[in-house]
Amino acid sequence: MTPKPQPCAPVWRPSQVERHVLCTHYDDCLDQAIEKDWAGFSCGGCPAYEQEHPGDVAWWDEQGENSKMLLICAGLIPEEVGECIARRLRT
Residue 31 burial by CB count (10 A; 0-12/13-18/19+): exposed, middle or buried?
Answer: exposed
The rounded percent of the chain whose pLDDT value lies above 70 is 93
pTM of the model: 0.62
Q: What value does the mean pLDDT of the chain take?
A: 85
Q: Is residue 18 over pLDDT 80? A: yes
- pLDDT at residue 77, as a whole number: 76
- Quick one: pLDDT band at residue 25, thresholds 50, 70, 90? very high
Domain limits, the chain = 6-42, 57-90
